[in-house]
Every structure is written in C-alpha cells, then in structure tokens.
Chains A and B, each alone.
Chain A
Amino acid sequence: MQDGRLSLTTPEGVRLALTPAGPAPRAAAWLIDLLIWMVFIWICLWIFGGSKLGSGLIGLILFVSYWGYPVLFEVYFSGRTPGKRVMKLAVVRADGLPVGWRESVLRNLLLVADFLPFMYATGLLCMLADQHFRRIGDIVAGTQVIYFDKPPVRKPLREVEPVPSPIPLTPEQQRTLLGLFEREAQLPPERLQELASIAEPLTGETGAVSLEKLRGIAAGLSR
C-alpha cells in the first residue's frame, strides 16, 4: 500500500493493483450524473406535463429513474454511470469483480445515509477516514470506486549499443531506469540530464555523458 494502491491477490497468486478514487473526482462524477438526470426529468416534464395522466407517468418515471439510474448503469455498463465514465471511474466489488444487483442497489440506497445531515457530509467524512476512500454505501455493499485506467501505449526504446551494468541492479532499480527512458519524450533535456546526474555512483559521470551511459545500460537491460 505504499503507493496508495489497493492490492488484490487473484487465485492464480498474482497481485492486481487497483487505484481507489478519492472524493473530488467522485463528486464531479456525481454532479455530472445529477445534471444528466435533471435534464432528463426536465424533458419528461416538458413532454408529459399538464395532464393528469401525464403527472402519473411523471411520478413513475421519477421513481424508476431516481432510484434506478445509477443501479442500471452500474450493473449493465461494468460499474460506470455516464458521470463515472467521463471521470474514468468504475465501481467494482472489493474483490475487483463487476458489481451485481445486490451490491449496486445497496450502495445507491445508502446514498441517503451518506447525504445526512446535509450535502453528503457523512459520506465525505467516511471517505476521508477510510483507507480506500469508501463511503458508508461502499462499506455496506462491499464495493470500491477505482480509476479505470486506459491501456498503456507501448513505445519502443531508442536503439543504442547495449552496455552491461557495472553493478547488479535490483528489479526496482531496473524498473526506475527503464521507466526513465520510456518517459523520455515527455521530459525536457535539461531535466533528463539532471536526473542522469543523480545516477553518478552508477556511471561515474554527470550530465549528458551520464545520460548516454545510462541509455546504454537500459538498452542492455531490455534485451
């Protein structure tokens, strides 16, 4: 848990890391959903309003859409309401699997408790106190809101002559080194050289020379 991620061990014994989402993006997702629902209701009022038959229909639509909107989306669209989709969030069960009816209904009904005493104060306090930002509804239903990461784009490293590392590197150090060159395009050259200077114990050089040596070591690590 040192990087704030939630680690799940699958039955195959590998660890999946999920990133719990905090109050701010979830509040934004909630606001988007609220706006969508209000526009929908406004359209329904505009179409059916006026007649007595229509007001009965509106009652039905209010009921089904108010309580059903989050549940239907979470069950049928792999844990994502439109708001959550925009904010790249998803609701999953505590074991990382998609939510079912029971979990979704419970967590959304308990929004009522999270709302008390005003404007989701209980939910916010609960999220801040909980290790994985769960509100009361999440704890009761055994669910978790996570970031739904996009698949990473893999970019090949620049081809250079591979150089063996002067000292054996731990897997973590290797990851760090390779990660540096995978993010090379996003960093300004000065920053790259500055970072390479930190690796002086490894390369015995500083600045651009150190960077080129590191590049060689990284190439050596990756083939």
Chain B
Amino acid sequence: MKQKQFEHAHAAFWQQLEQSLADKKNTEENFPAMYRQLCQHFALARQRGYSPALTDYLHKLVHEGHLQLYGVAVDRPMVLHRWLLQTMPQRVREEWRLMLLAIVAFFGIGLGVFLLVWFQPHWAYSFAEPHQLMKFQQMYQPDNIKIGRGGSEGDVAMFGFYIWNNVSIDFRTFAAGIFAGVPSLISLASNGMHFGVIAAWLSLDDSTRETFWSFVITHSSFEVAGLLLAAVAGMRLGFSLLSPGRMTRRHALMAASQRMFPVLVGAAMLTVIAAFFEGFWSASTSISAQTKYVVGGIGWLIVIAYFVFAGRGRNDAA
C-alpha cells in the first residue's frame, strides 16, 4: 500500500486518537484497543519505509499513548501508614548488623570521647576549638538558655533552623553513603565525637550540667534514631555496590535504594519530630528538669520499643 492511501485510510482515526490524548481525563472507553491499533499502524509504517514525517508523527502519538496507558500512577492507599508501622521497622530489623555498626560508631565513639574528656579534661582541646567550648558553656548557662532566644518567636526561629540543618544532615549522610558507606560512618563518628566532647565538657561544670542534659534528653531519642537510620540506609547503598551478590552492580544498587526508601522517609520524619521538641520544649524554662528527664526517658523507650516490636508478625508486601 502506498503511503498516500495508508494516510488517507487512517487519518481520521489518528485525529480521533490525538484528540483523546489531548483530553487530560481521557474519557475514551476503548482507548487501549485504539492504542494497540495505532501501534500496529506505526510498526507497519516503519516496516514499509514510509516517510520520516509520517513515522515521526506516529512515533510521537505512540509515545504519548504509552504514557497515557501505562503512566497512570497506581493508587496505593495508606502507603505511608503501612511504611511507618510495618515496612520501616521490619527493614531496620533486617539490617540489624548495619544498625549495630551505626550504634557502635555513634555511641561507642561518643562514650569513648566522653570518658576521655571526663577523666582528662585537657583532651577536650584536641577535639574542639577553645572558643567553641566557651560558646557552648555560655549557651547552657541556666540564665542564658531562654533569654538568648527571645520568647516563643525565638522558638520558631530555632525550630526552622533545626529542620533545615538536621534533616539536611540526615539526607547528606544517606547520599554520601554510596561511596562504600564510609562517609555515612564518618558522619556518625564525627557527630558522636562532638556530642561526647561537649557532653563531657558541660557535665564537668556544675552550672551547665543540668541545663545541658535536660535540654538534650527529650529530643535526642528521635534525632539520634533519625541519624542512625539515614546512615544505615546510606551504608546499605554503599555495600550493595561493594558486594552486589548475584545481581549486577546497577541492579543491586537500585534494589537497595528501593528497599531503603521507607527507612529514609522514616529518618526524615523522626528528625522533624525531634526538631519540634528541640524548638518548642527542650529549651523551655517553665518545665522542671525532672519532667524533662521523665519525658525524655519515655521518648527513648518509645523509640526502642518501636524498632524492636512494630510490624512483627505482619507481612504485607509494600
């Protein structure tokens, strides 16, 4: 069949298809059948060597039809709910070895540095600049902790800062993990080290001990958990590249990122929760230190219980 005849025979049909593609909602009922017909026309036109203008035009129509037919996002109700209550804790438990490594990297180094500075205070200067230590000491003076922020508006300011800063640290810890997981570990270790040296330094001083610990205790459970999760997800990416198992490296990397995505979402959410506590509650002077310790302790219990027990015995694919 000559191209002219071919075009003449089907032009009306292509027009109709073009219209239903332009229509965003696409009310055409037998669109799949029409699309298959179009694909046949396209294959025929190409096989018969019709002009580039015609085949390009049909190619364009086929591409749009392909998007229209297969590009519809599948409705997944309650996906976030299931991620948070089942998938995320399950995945974290599956990665318990990496989690252990992350905990050792953060708390191990943190505790090590803490003890070192506690018994040999001059070591603090090896980990932090003297003016930094001075600044922290001033920040956590009982009279200063609220005044410097300027009431509830200051709380909002700190909240915004914590969100921007802390969640961004999580994201960077995750993404850099692709380089064999090392940058994630370094991020954990350096955060642990900073925490250790500042905690020890401020605990040595009677005036700042209580303000520091009562400030840190509440939000630390969520914030540290968020950082640990981001690091675990990042290390998983890096290790999947190092030892891809039976898959190609590319596929191993893609599979790992798909598996770790809910964990990453969880890390971001935990850190946002932490920023709420850190901004609006931790620095409040109208709440007694005892209350903060109790709430903080409950926070840690909730986080630990969540990762140990949530989603056990349920196995829905996500």
**Quick check: A55 and B161 within 8 Å, CB to CB?**
yes
Bound-state CA distance A16–B154 (Å) is: 56
Closest A residue by C-beta to B160: A59
Inter-subunit contact A57/B261 (CB<8 Å): no
The SS class assigned to the B binding surface is helix
A217 within 8 A of partner (CB): no
Tell whether, in the assembled complex, residue A139 and residue B253 are in contact, meaning their CB atoms are under 8 Å apart. yes
Q: Knowing A13-B39, A106-B261 touch, does A53 contact B52 (C-beta < 8 A)?
A: no
- Please judge, given known A-B contacts A63-B163, A171-B48, whether A52 and B171 are in contact too, CB under 8 Å: no
Contact partners of A59 in chain B: CB under 8 A: 157, 159-165
Q: How far is the CB of B57 from chain A (nearest CB, A)?
A: 6
Whether A151 and B159, one on each chain, are in contact in the complex, defined by CB atoms closer than 8 angstroms, is no
Partner pick for A52 among B3, B5, B46, B153, CB 8 A cutoff: B153
Query: Which B residues between 70 and 107 are near A, CB-CB below 8 angstroms?
Result: 70-71, 73
Cβ contact within 8 Å between B52 and A175 = yes
Stretch of B139-147, B173-181, B204-212, B308-316 on the interface side: B173-181
- Is A3 located at the chain interface by the 8 A CB criterion? no
| A170 to B157 Cα, complex, angstroms | 71
Q: Are A102 and B157 in contact (CB-based, < 8 A)?
A: no
Q: Check A113–B49 contact: CB distance below 8 A.
A: no
| Cross-interface CB contact of B157 among A12, A55, A110, A169, cutoff 8 Å | A55
B257 close to chain A: CB less than 8 A: yes
Q: Are B157 and A96 in contact (CB under 8 A)?
A: no
A24 CB-CB contact with B under 8 Å: no
Number of A-B contacts (CB under 8 A): 164
Is the CB–CB distance between A152 and B43 below 8 Å?
no
Do B49 and A14 have beta carbons less than 8 Å apart? no
B242: interface (CB < 8 Å):
no
Distance between Cα atoms of A102 and B257 in the complex (Å): 9
Among the listed B39, B62, B165, B174, which residue makes an inter-chain contact with A109, where contact means beta carbons less than 8 Å apart? B174
- A12 pairs with B175, CB closer than 8 A: no
CA distance A99 to B211 in the complex (A): 48
**Number of A positions contacting B (CB below 8 A):** 58
Q: Which of B28-65 contact A (CB under 8 A)?
A: 35-36, 39-40, 42-43, 46-57, 59-60, 62-63
B67 at the binding interface (Cβ < 8 Å): yes
Give every chain A residue within 8 A of B301 (Cβ-Cβ): none
Given A53-B157, A98-B67, A60–B164 Cβ distance below 8 Å?
yes
Question: Shortest distance in angstroms between A144's beta carbon and chain B's nearest beta carbon?
Answer: 13
CA distance A209 to B248 in the complex (A): 58
Give 1 or 0 for each of A210-223: 1 = CB within 8 Å of chain B CB: 00000000000111
CB of B4 closer than 8 Å to a CB of A:
yes
Contact yes or no, A56 B172, CB < 8 A: no
Q: How far is the CB of A71 from chain B (nearest CB, A)?
A: 12
Cβ–Cβ < 8 Å partners of A102 in chain B: 258, 261
Verify A139–B51 contact, CB threshold 8 A.
no
Chain A residues near B55 (CB-CB < 8 A): 175
Partner of B175, one of A57, A109, A221: A109
- Taking a contact as CB atoms under 8 Å apart, the answer to whether A105 and B261 are in contact is yes
Q: Which of A122-171 contact B (CB under 8 A)?
A: 136, 139-142, 149, 151-152, 154-155, 169-171
Which of the residues A100, A172, A175 comes within 8 Å of B51, measured between beta carbons?
A175
In the complex, which residues of chain A have a beta carbon less than 8 angstroms from the beta carbon of B159?
56, 59-60
Q: What's the least CB distance linking A155 to chain B, in Å?
A: 7
Q: Is B291 an interface residue (CB 8 A)?
A: no
Tell me, rounded to whole Å, the shortest Cβ–Cβ distance linking A83 to chain B. 21
Q: Do B156 and A56 have beta carbons less than 8 Å apart?
A: yes
Nearest 10 interchain pairs by C-beta: A59-B160, A171-B49, A56-B156, A223-B4, A56-B160, A112-B175, A178-B51, A174-B49, A12-B39, A56-B157
Extra contacts, 19 of them, besides A14-B43, A113-B176 (Cβ < 8 A), are: A14-B39, A16-B59, A55-B161, A60-B160, A67-B167, A98-B67, A98-B71, A102-B258, A105-B264, A112-B175, A136-B178, A139-B250, A140-B178, A140-B257, A152-B57, A154-B57, A178-B52, A178-B53, A223-B3
User: What are 8 A-B pairs with beta-carbon distances under 8 A?
Assistant: A52-B149, A63-B160, A109-B174, A141-B254, A172-B49, A178-B52, A223-B3, A223-B4
- B-side residues, CB < 8 A to A, are 2-5, 35-36, 39-40, 42-43, 46-57, 59-60, 62-63, 66-67, 70-71, 73, 149-150, 153-165, 167-168, 171-172, 174-176, 178-179, 237, 250, 253-254, 257-258, 261, 264, 279
